[in-house]
Structure 1
Amino acid sequence: MTPAPPAGSLDAMTSSAGAPARIRIGSAPDSWGVWFPDDPRQVPWQRFLDEVSAAGYEWIELGPYGYLPTDPARLSDETRRRGLSVSAGTVFTGLHHGPDVWERTWAHVAGIAALTRAMGAGHLVVIPSFWRDDRTGEVLEDRDLTAEQWRHLTTQTERLGREVRDRFGLRVVVHPHADTHIDTEENVSRFLDATDPDLVSLCLDTGHYAYCGGDSVELIETYGERIGYLHLKQVDPAVLAQVVADEVPFGPAVARGVMCEPPGGVPALEPVLAAARALDVDLFAVVEQDMYPCPPDKPLPIARRTREFLRSCGGPGRPDTPTGPEK
């Protein structure tokens, strides 16, 4: 019997096999202003879990490793009693530096992948390293990769995808991100064209892709088979124009409010979700409104409004009436 869609699942078409393809909506610590494992300006992890559940979400990401408890038994208890399940973990990598960084990278990835798998999730979101510091703006390296660095990036990411799949049963989804080397339409296409689709999929972040000048709907329609995961966010076009003109680094740009509450920015999320539904595959779509730092009382009302807005984006017909999380 086909399980009932979980809360937060948007209505989707029926696949050729007869099972309903779903877009499952979740949220993440990022939407509560959490960027670091420990920072006095961030809400405590207990408050995040309480509020994300109160806002009506049933799926979360782990966020920065160490923010939530890293003991699987404790984290399972804390999430279960709030009706929450984990969709993915997140790692940062600098694989364009080549084989010399592999051992250090794997030591970082393995612990996060183990916790992600223990929590029953199936995805590992991989974010490339920044070419300039996201808080200070210090330029760390050239913003353009050499041909050799591109080869390192693609081959080492494939290696990561293979190892994570074989050892932990997780699917690597690479996240194009502002101020990294996988950012613009040109760089995203180059990366996808050079990597094995059996090993590397994409986490399309609608806000970051718009921030870097890309069209999310066009990307989904062009590389649909590579879309393995979604992050939903919007950018304020007026703030973005000033950020680009002033060459503001990503962290200070966020502090200026470049990422905004839907539906007040770009891209429009209705056509993005419609294009995603047309792929006829199950997808997670995790809300991530970058707000670091932010007042502690700001995230919850935004999270509630965003969830209701996204439920209104179900396309023809109404979203499914939820009956509980899929386990």
Structure 2
Amino acid sequence: MSASSVSPPVLDRIRIGSAPDSWGVWFPDDEQQVPWQRFLDEVADAGYEWIELGPYGYLPTDPAVLREETARRGLKVSAGTIFTSLHHGPAVWEKTWDHVTQVATLAQQMDASHLVVIPSFWRDDKTAEELEPRELTGQQWRHLTSGMEKLSRRVREEFGLEIAVHPHADTHIDTEEHVERFLDATDSDLVNLCLDTGHYAYCGGDSVKLLRTYGERVNYLHLKQVDPGILADVVKQGTPFGPAVQQGVMCEPPLGVPSLPPVLEAAQGLGVELFAIVEQDMYPCPPDRPLPIARRTRRYLRSCGA
């Protein structure tokens, strides 16, 4: 049998979805973003069944309205997203929990299962100004890890959701070294990862290696690729993440890295059901750009067996 006629692997444990991020949505309200109705129409049109809430307030926050709007398009919600600065310790807990409660309440009412947790940025996303040191102190690491465990425990007890901590460019959980340090310092029964393949590659990490060595700690995936040529320039220039996105550092598959078939096969091999949500950062972008990319990406993932 020729290589071209070999069927793709069956990836029956992978639930494919997309997110407002793939439509250039980074903020609850922004004139450069498409209206939420258009996002819902187009994500369904592109062939996706699962979506994330995106920035809280972009999609309707009234669960009755959102349930009706998603149901009539055949869509279901996998997760909400929150931003945290838990390395600052107990002083930020109350403010953090207020934000979490808002998002988790809506996610729970939409029958979502996860809350994606993104650490705060150490440098400004637009100006590149350093807001705080790139490396955490020992005490800040302890605040971060104990805070995430507390957050997970309360989110699970009060909302029935699992947290998935998202290593992210320009945050304190970014490189392989930082990710492994974070995992080794947290309780595996409480704290697990949203592995974003694009962000991990952006920060020099190997997604397949992470899945093979810490696979039991990955409970959610974001599928994304980086353009290696643009990334090399970003690294050389020290460009912050926002301007890097505007340069096109995140690209549609299969044009970038990492190669997604090995990632999906490694994820399938974990033996658990995993959401794999497509996210192609491209804020801001022309309103007509996302849908054709979303269609091509969905067809490509089907060709990989997902």
Same fold? TM cut 0.5: yes
The one of 60, 63, 69 aligned to 2:54: 63
* Amino acid aligned to 2:10: D
Partner of 1:313: 304
Partner of 2:126: 135
Partner of 1:78: 69
Instruction: Describe how 1:119-130 pairs up with structure 2 within 5 A.
Output: 119-130=110-121
Q: Does 1:159 align with 2:120?
A: no
Q: Does 1:257 align with 2:248?
A: yes
1:135 deviates by 2.0
Partner of 1:38: 29
Whole-Å Cα distance in 1 between the matches of residues 81 and 179 of structure 2? 19
Partner of 2:234: 243
Is contact 1:63-1:90 (8 Å) kept? yes
Q: Runs (4+) of structure 1 moved beyond 6 Å?
A: none
1:137 deviates by 1.6
Q: Does 1:294 align with 2:285?
A: yes
Structure 2: segments with no counterpart, 5+ residues: 1-8
Q: Does 1:186 align with 2:177?
A: yes
> What does the per-residue CA deviation read over 1:164-214, in whole Å, with 9 as the maximum and x for residues that have no partner?
000000000000000000000000000000001111110000000000000
Partner of 1:18: none
1:277 deviates by 0.6
Q: Does 1:87 align with 2:86?
A: no
> What does the per-residue CA deviation read over 1:219-246, in whole Å, with 9 as the maximum and x for residues that have no partner?
0000011010000000000000000000
Is contact 1:11-1:23 (8 Å) kept? no
SS at match of 1:182: coil
Instruction: Describe how 1:201-212 pairs up with structure 2 within 5 A.
Output: 201-212=192-203
* Amino acid aligned to 1:204: L
Whole-Å Cα distance in 1 between the matches of residues 148 and 114 of structure 2? 15
Whole-Å Cα distance in 2 between the matches of residues 75 and 135 of structure 1? 32
SS at match of 1:229: strand
Is contact 1:134-1:250 (8 Å) kept? yes
Partner of 2:6: none
1:27 deviates by 0.1
Whole-Å Cα distance in 2 between the matches of residues 70 and 137 of structure 1? 32
Normalized against structure 2, the TM-score is what?
Answer: 0.96
> What does the per-residue CA deviation read over 1:105-150, in whole Å, with 9 as the maximum and x for residues that have no partner?
0001011000000000000000000001112222110010000000
Q: Does 1:276 align with 2:275?
A: no
SS at match of 2:150: helix
Partner of 2:91: 100
Partner of 1:225: 216
When the two structures are aligned, how many residues end up with a matched partner? 298
Identical amino acids, percent of aligned pairs: 74
Normalized against structure 1, the TM-score is what?
Answer: 0.90
Q: Does 1:117 align with 2:145?
A: no
> What does the per-residue CA deviation read over 1:38-73, in whole Å, with 9 as the maximum and x for residues that have no partner?
000000000000000000101000000000000000
Partner of 2:3: none
Whole-Å Cα distance in 1 between the matches of residues 220 and 10 of structure 2? 17
SS at match of 1:92: strand
